[in-house]
Amino acid sequence: MTEKNQDSSIVNSKADKKAWFGLITILALVLLVSMDGSVLYLAMPKITSSILPTADQSLWILDIYGFIVGSLLVVFGNIGDHYGRLRLIIFGSITFGVGSICAAFSSSPEMLIISRAIMGLGGATLLPSGLAILSNLFLNPKQLAQAIGIFAATFAGGFAIGPIIGGLLLSKFDWGVVFFINIPVIILFLIFSPIFLKEVKQVNYGKIDILSLVLSFAGILLFTYSIKNAAAYGISTLQITIGLIGIISLIWFVRRQNHIKYPLLNVSLFKDRVFSIAIATGLLSLVVWSASGYLTGIYLQSVLGFDVFTAALFALPGAFVLIITCIVTNKIADRIGKKNSLVMTHFFLSLGIAILLFTNIEHGVIAVIISSIIAGVGYGLSFSLVAEIAISAVPPANAGAAASLAETSNEIGNALGITILGSLAAFYFRVSGPNVAGTLNETLDYPNLSIALINQAKFAFVDGMHIAILVASALTFIVGILAICWIPKSISK
């Protein structure tokens, strides 16, 4: 048999049971990484009452995880190719577990923020390494596509069920339990990964540019710190200076990518409008998801007074619609075309999130449920379409970079939603609230507060939430219009 025939035989061979068990092993970690991006949405009122974070610390607790994961995905993809994907994913799972234990026992906002950052460091190793290992387990193209589809659906499902599982656990246990649930899964992974998974090593990305890594990481964090600081304490010379340094660092990072041999970010990919719209869709869908999840979690518990278990139940219809949409997206795209499906993503998100404008301090449950159902269609379409369209828009040699950027856009979007829109809502509360404390939960925990001040605080929070919602709805609508104008009909089928 010739070498060519041997390669063809390998590609056409079916995966054995060991490969499918390997997929299940990886999916357990994928579920944890995506769940931990959203599991705290319903936990924040309890965390706020327990360790008393300031307004900007509350935002850091929520989004430091997403920023760390998003900032390091591409870097760890390169490191895994050099030193071994399985070795890296085992290191990452241990790091993720250590961060989870530290987070569960955190007694201060600073400790919880650091613990979430450690979890993000571990999480950043898991997604790119998991996909690379899958490609080595499933050599048959059809089975590989099926495995990647299951991988993507699990990632999307984790985002959807994270708040629900968190809410169910918080109804019976203290807030630290949302981190303890990671430990059994990690232990099982460490036991079974050497049995079912193969090492993957491929040195083809060149050296990692340390300056680019520092510029991107520092730029994102400094810019984020500036926004959060302005929301919590107001605008100051120091805050503006830090923000400008962050922006300059990010501009320097982007410009540097055009002049180095092995860039962390392939900027040239964004010259393709289809690719740019796909990445913008992945980013914006998670911006809307994280901001609405965070704000409605506080709204249901602290404004309307529902317990965490009931608030979790209200999330079930939207989660169900999201998962079903993920499953049927391919059929939708086959029927109406990928372009129309991507355009629909933005309009469903825009309409769904806009329905939250009908909430007030007395009624709003129906609006929250309807919003989650309509937006759930948009989330499902986005989670299923973005990576596929981004990869199809670039040359085959750049498929890996396109896939990494699609994942990165999700993680960065998850963090940016809370940073930008959460900070916008927090800023409005600071200037319009009763000036008792920096957040709604801190204000409501204040002793002997009058009914008038309580209502003022609730009105300020709801108005701030509405402003954030308007911005989110407008952004998704605008990108939907751009998708109509920029994406050619050639991707419709």
Q: Which tokens go with 413?
A: 């979007």
Most confident of the following: 113-117, 191-195, 261-265, 399-403: 113-117
How many whole angstroms separate alpha carbon 61 and alpha carbon 40? 9
pLDDT tier for residue 6 given thresholds of 50, 70 and 90: very low
Whether residue 203 is predicted with pLDDT greater than 70 in this model: the reply is no
How many whole angstroms separate alpha carbon 336 and alpha carbon 264? 36
Predicted local confidence at residue 296, as pLDDT: 93
Please count the other Cβ atoms lying within 10 Å of the Cβ belonging to residue 363.
Answer: 10
How many whole angstroms separate alpha carbon 131 and alpha carbon 285? 22
**Residue 248 CB-half CA count within 13 A:** 6
Q: Which tokens go with 415?
A: 């963090």
pLDDT tier for residue 12 given thresholds of 50, 70 and 90: low
pLDDT in tens, 239-293: 999 999 999 999 999 999 888 887 877 888 888 888 899 999 989 998 998 899 8
DSSP state string for 408-452 = HHHHHHHHHIIIIIIHHHHHHHHHHS-SS-SSHHHHHTSTT--HH
- In eight-state DSSP terms, residue 14 is P
Block residue for tokens 């327990």: 50
Quick one: CA dihedral 95, 96, 99, 105, positive or negative? negative
How large a percentage of the chain has pLDDT more than 70?
90
Q: Which tokens go with 298?
A: 């506080």
Predicted local confidence at residue 65, as pLDDT: 85
How large a percentage of the chain has pLDDT more than 90?
33
Report whether 200 contacts 83 (CB < 8 A): no
How many whole angstroms separate alpha carbon 48 and alpha carbon 45? 5
Which has the minimum average pLDDT: 147-161, 170-184, 317-331, 358-372? 147-161
Whether residue 27 is predicted with pLDDT greater than 80 in this model: the reply is yes
How many whole angstroms separate alpha carbon 80 and alpha carbon 90? 11
pLDDT tier for residue 80 given thresholds of 50, 70 and 90: confident
Q: What's the angle, vertex CA 458, arms to CA 233 and CA 440, rounded to 5? A: 40
How many whole angstroms separate alpha carbon 145 and alpha carbon 249? 38
How many whole angstroms separate alpha carbon 53 and alpha carbon 42? 16
pLDDT in tens, 380-408: 898 878 877 887 787 766 666 676 777 77
How many whole angstroms separate alpha carbon 140 and alpha carbon 102? 41
Quick one: CA dihedral 432, 436, 439, 440, positive or negative? negative
pLDDT tier for residue 52 given thresholds of 50, 70 and 90: confident
Most confident of the following: 77-86, 141-150, 231-240: 231-240
Instruction: Please give the average per-residue pLDDT across 141-163, as a whole number.
Output: 74
Predicted local confidence at residue 207, as pLDDT: 72
Predicted local confidence at residue 304, as pLDDT: 95
How many whole angstroms separate alpha carbon 144 and alpha carbon 232? 47
- In eight-state DSSP terms, residue 16 is -
Instruction: Please give the average per-residue pLDDT across 362-376, as a whole number.
Output: 95
Looking at per-residue confidence, does 467 or 87 come out higher? Answer: 467
